[in-house]
């Protein structure tokens, strides 16, 4: 699904960037431009990044 309509960034793109090693919102924002225009997507994008980092931390602990 589209997270940022202004920049046409999807949740899949955000997760792919996280898989590539970026683990914080600032990195995602720098690479995609997300939340730099209207800003309405920022909260959802941050949630996706946090969920991804939690799931990554859980799988490495197991």
Residue-range definition of the domain harbouring residue 38: 2-61
Domains in the chain, number: 1
pLDDT at 56: 63
How many angstroms separate the CA atoms of 47 and 24, rounded? 11
pLDDT at 61: 40
Residue that has been written with the tokens 């995609």 in this structure: 32
Reported for 23-31, long-range contacts at CB under 8 A and 24+ positions apart, including other chains, are 23/49, 23/53, 23/56, 24/49, 25/49
pLDDT along the chain (62 residues), means of 10: 96 94 92 94 95 65 40
Residue 29 makes CB contacts below 8 A (sequence gap 6+) with 35, 36, 45
- Residue 19: give its domain's CATH number: 1.10.10.1100
Q: Are 27 and 52 in contact (CB under 8 A)?
A: no
Give the total residue count for the chain. Answer: 62
């Amino acid at each position: 699904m589209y997270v940022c309509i202004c920049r046409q960034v999807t949740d899949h793109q955000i997760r792919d960037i996280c898989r590539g090693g970026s683990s914080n919102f600032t990195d995602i924002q720098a690479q995609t431009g997300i939340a730099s225009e209207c800003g309405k997507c920022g909260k959802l994008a941050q949630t996706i990044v946090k969920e991804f980092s939690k799931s990554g931390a859980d799988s490495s602990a197991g």
